[in-house]
Amino acid sequence: MRLAELSGRSGVPTATIKYYLREGLLPPGERVSATQAEYGEAHLRRLRLVRALIQVGKVPVAAAREVLAAVDDDSLGQTIRLGAALWALPQGVRPEPDDPDAVAAAREVDRLLADLGWSTSREIGNLSPAYRTLVAALATLARLGYPCDAAHLAPYAEQMGRTAALDLDMLEEYPTPVEKVEAAVAAAVLYEPVLLSLRRLAQEEESARRYGL
């Protein structure tokens, strides 16, 4: 498959594919002569993943490159590889370390994790982007006048725990490591809009049920 056909089959303009090649988001095709390269189904698949990351997931190009590097890195163990791919995904805003709201939020998060018995998160949590994003979001909420304590978050966290179990059940259906990691990335990025849409639909439904149209 030549670049033009790759473009035709994926719907991505050739100029954009060249850009992705330059940025290292897409591995170069197999050189068949000095000025021509051949692309395969793997390129098409990867290209669609790139598009999903960038357009649906709004992942910046630089972060997408890191994610894909982790996906491709055979030298990593499966867990590390998956973690590396997910940790490279951007996560909202970073908190300022010495912001008092952030300190209070961090304490509340720690208490929440302790209450839930999520020991893993307590050990490695401070390194996880998800932990920091959570702290930053809670600090912002507090600053806006919507304080959230651990007790208030606990039911949400328990529900997300059940969701995570569903996520991992689904991952187990994919046999090979690469497929698992790719599926994990797709799930992390593409299931987020799905979940959030479902939440909004559920809110509309519940609101109509309680208060009528």
Partner DNA sequence: AGTGATGGGATAGTGGCACTCTCCAAGTCA
Partner DNA sequence: TGACTTGGAGAGTGCCACTATCCCATCACT
According to CB under 8 A, which one of 21, 70, 106, 153 is a site residue for a copy of itself?
A: 153
151 binds a copy of itself (CB under 8 A): no
Select from 28-36, 158-166, 174-182, 189-197 the region that touches DNA (CB under 7 A).
28-36
Count of other CB atoms within 10 angstroms of residue 62: 12
Residue 64, C-beta contacts closer than 8 angstroms, at least 6 positions apart: 25, 50, 53, 54
Nearer to DNA, 19 or 87 (CB): 19
| Cross-strand partners of 36 | 33
**x/- track of binding to a copy of itself for residues 24-63 (CB under 8 A):** ---------------------x--xx--x--xx-x-----
CA distance 170 to 21: 31
CA distance 49 to 80: 20
Compute the least distance from the CB of residue 189 to a copy of itself, in Å.
10
> Do residues 113 and 121 lie in contact, with contact meaning Cβ atoms separated by under 8 Å?
yes
According to CB under 7 A, which one of 11, 15, 79, 175 is a site residue for DNA?
A: 15
16 binds, among DNA, a copy of itself, none (CB under 5 to 8 A by kind): DNA
97 binds a copy of itself (CB under 8 A): no
Size of the site for a copy of itself (CB under 8 A): 81
Nearer to DNA, 14 or 78 (CB): 14
- 212: three-class secondary structure by DSSP: coil
**x/- track of binding to DNA for residues 40-69 (CB under 7 A):** --------------xx----xxx-------
Q: Is 198 exposed, middle or buried (0-12, 13-18, 19+ CB in 10 A)?
A: exposed
120 binds a copy of itself (CB under 8 A): yes
144 binds a copy of itself (CB under 8 A): yes
> Do residues 128 and 119 lie in contact, with contact meaning Cβ atoms separated by under 8 Å?
no
Count of other CB atoms within 10 angstroms of residue 79: 8
Tokens for 115?
């209450």
Specify the DSSP class assigned to residue 55: I
**x/- track of binding to a copy of itself for residues 162-191 (CB under 8 A):** xxxxxxx-x------------x--xxx-xx
103 binds a copy of itself (CB under 8 A): no
